[in-house]
Amino acid sequence: MNASAPLRILLLEDDPVSAEFLRAALSLVATRVDMATTLAEARALARPLAHELWLFDANLPDGSGHGLLAELRDAGISTPALAHTASTHRDELDGLISAGFADVLVKPFEMAVLETAIRRVLRIADGGTPDQHDPATTPALPCAKLPLWDDESALRALNGRPEHVAAMRVLFRGELPQVSARIAAASTHGDAAALRDELHRLRASCGFVGAARLGSAVATWQTAADSADAQADIEADIQRVIQDTLSSID
């Protein structure tokens, strides 16, 4: 992207794997990327600093991206904003647009999709046609029939750079045990909201690193997370695929 002026972007994302992917993607188009993992950090950075663009996660442990956007708009800050989310529910995506985001990116997405969205929102010339890929229209395949890794997908997401794929998978591997423990705790306590949140973030991370079998398992179970009867099955199935994924990295 050849912007005519320096581009400074504020990124709000709490998941380490998603944050690293987005930071790397944004560093290709921005002069500076300011990172925030909580609403409080983003708020502290957004008020005094002049950003050309905000990129906010829709759902965070301490609140919502659209809530923060409303607060900043009430403070008179009109910086253009994009939302990113792993949700594929049309009403949620439409709600983010209604809340004031210029566009919503559904994770996982490729770097080129992000660049196109930034061009469009900031009206940078020669941005090309937005990628119309919508994970909501892509049928989930039985996870047992999928390979553990989709290297081609991961390379596409990371602009064909195998060294970035390798680095992201090391980070992903380091996060999986903690994710596994949080999924187990949510299932044990019957906490559907926490389970949904963990599945939501894990699905995005899987897409960025090409963890095909685990990502498919998560997508299959996301719609059943509210069912108390299904939670034990969800946890057992996903834990099995997590262990397979971890073993393949080892």
pLDDT at residue number 146: 63
pLDDT at residue number 82: 95
Instruction: Please give the angle made by the CA atoms of 70, 199 and 167, to the nearest 5 degrees.
Output: 95
Q: What is the rounded CA–CA span in Å between residue 243 and residue 229? A: 23
The architecture (CATH level 2) of 8-136 comes to: 3-Layer(aba) Sandwich (3.40)
Proportion of the chain above pLDDT 90, given as a percent = 44
Low-confidence ranges of the chain (pLDDT < 70): 1-5, 124-146, 250
Contacts of 66 (CB under 8 A, 6+ apart): 56, 58, 83, 95, 96, 99, 100, 101
CA 89 to chain centre: 15
Give Cα separations from 100 to 62, 64, 152, 243 (angstroms). 20, 13, 35, 40
* Every domain of the chain and the residues it spans: 8-136, 143-249
Cα Dmax for the chain: 56
H or E element that contains 69:
helix 65-74
CATH topology of domain 143-249: Four Helix Bundle (Hemerythrin (Met), subunit A) (1.20.120)
Write out the E strands in the chain. Answer: 8-12, 32-36, 53-57, 59-60, 63-64, 81-85, 103-106
pLDDT tens by residue, 114-157: 988 888 888 764 433 333 333 333 333 233 346 789 898 899 88
pLDDT tens by residue, 85-104: 988 887 888 889 889 998 89
Mean pLDDT of all residues belonging to the chain: 84
pLDDT at residue number 227: 81
pLDDT at residue number 136: 32
pLDDT at residue number 144: 34
